[in-house]
Chains A and B, each alone.
Chain A
């Protein structure tokens, strides 16, 4: 079985400050890890993914995430948050078996960036 935990329901930061959204995972074998962002009444938008290689992954809109195998974590980070980053963020995982696209999502973290 595979699962994702996002321990924080909400994260509040001031604009210009660093933003971190936490994610830990559980999966058999090597993980494929993803971050998505969702705006109200919209579908999910892909931010970044980790498949293999460098543990630090850079994605869209200045976001990055660091894969930590020993801690089974994949925290999302942004050095300087913007008000427009306020949204719902989902971490997702699946196993590395080929043709297995089924993702398990975390419960989501609502990010609010105040001006």
Chain B
């Protein structure tokens, strides 16, 4: 079963509105989570690293005020796309690392398809 839950899976919104995407680690605590953006048939681009208890670390070129990240607890990180515009339409994926018997693994959420009209 899924170890990282991402919600919603699909959202359509009007230009200028804000959209919140949730990423939850199931059955384990994640002090760090990652947010990626993926354009059709392209690779995943790391947007930011979400840190529980401290500010997120953004990759170069990612607008902090546009993509608000809050790591509210050890199992929840949220990405809010503020004042969304059509160019923000994309597939957003979160991930969280988990240590297990086989060492570290990075688990991904099922993704959120955002369409801004």
Q: What is A's interface to B at a CB cutoff of 8 Å?
A: 34, 36, 41-46, 49, 51, 88, 90, 101-108, 110
Name the residue of chain B whose CB is nearest to the CB of A110: B41
Asked if residues B104 and A101 are in contact (CB atoms below 8 Å), the reply is yes
- Place the interface of chain B in its size category: 20 to 34
Among candidates B9, B42, B93, B113, residue contacting A44 with C-beta atoms closer than 8 Å: B93
Asked if residues A43 and B104 are in contact (CB atoms below 8 Å), the reply is no
Q: Does chain A have a CB within 8 A of B43? A: yes
A43 to B106, CA, bound (A): 12
Asked if residues A43 and B6 are in contact (CB atoms below 8 Å), the reply is yes
Least CB distance from A47 to B in Å reads: 11
- Contacts A36-B108, A103-B46, A108-B42 supplied; 10 other A-B pairs, CB < 8 Å: A41-B91, A42-B111, A43-B6, A44-B93, A101-B34, A102-B34, A102-B49, A104-B46, A105-B43, A106-B43
Given the interface pairs A43-B110, A101-B32, the reply to whether A90 lies near B105 with Cβ below 8 Å is no
Q: Which residues of A contact B93 (CB under 8 A)?
A: 43-44
Asked if residues A46 and B49 are in contact (CB atoms below 8 Å), the reply is no
Asked if residues A49 and B105 are in contact (CB atoms below 8 Å), the reply is yes
Asked if residues A41 and B106 are in contact (CB atoms below 8 Å), the reply is no
